[in-house]
Amino acid sequence: MSEVSLHPDQAVVFDVQRFSVHDGPGIRTVVFFKGCHLECVWCQNPEGKRHAPELAYHADRCISGCTACVDAVCPEGAILDRMQERVDWSKCTHCGKCAEVCPSTALTIVGALWSAQALLDEVLADRSFYEVSGGGLTLS
């Protein structure tokens, strides 16, 4: 999943955080987009740098003895049989086949295509909270 084709009404989003009170006044919804070109030393969301959905590995979630991802037949041979170093990133194409079979979400795909309408529907679901609290939407 190294490249992604977007239509004008689509975006790659890696998180939608509802009921946020830290990114502006009132209750807010924060939409986190992928594709940041900045190289901030203090970056709190490095998963947002790449434009396309990508594989993430959380070693703390990996189940000892589980080999579901190893057995999933990675087309590039990027999955290793070691818990602390599960992915050979130099070979990984972020196809997600290993994440599809991971029972503990130790391997996940970060980012998904959203249509503008689906994103708007998600944000407007909390409209009454924005109106009462003076909040709204933060795009990040």
Alpha carbon distance 106, 61 (integer Å): 5
Q: Residue 71 — very low, low, confident or very high, per pLDDT cuts 50/70/90? A: confident
67: its two tokens: 């080999």
Based on the fold, state whether residues 35 and 76 are members of the same structural domain: no
CATH of the domain at 84: 3.30.70.20
Q: How confident is the model at residue 118 (pLDDT cuts 50, 70, 90)?
A: very high
Kindly indicate the confidence band of residue 84, based on its pLDDT and cuts at 50, 70 and 90.
confident
**Is-contact 72 79, C-beta < 8 A?**
yes
The pLDDT value given to residue 98: 92
Q: What is the pTM of this model?
A: 0.81
* Cβ contact 29:120 at 8 Å: no
Check if the beta carbon of residue 106 is closer than 8 Å to that of residue 79.
Answer: no
- Phi, psi angle pair for 27, to nearest 5°: -80, 130
pLDDT > 70: percent of the chain: 97
Same domain, 40 and 82: no
Q: Which one-letter amino acid corresponds to residue 114?
A: W
Query: Do residues 116 and 49 share a domain?
Result: yes
Return the higher-pLDDT residue of 120 and 6. Answer: 120
Q: Within 3-139, where are the H helices?
A: 68-71, 97-101, 116-124, 127-133
For 1-31, write each residue's pLDDT tens digit. 556 677 789 999 999 999 999 888 999 999 9
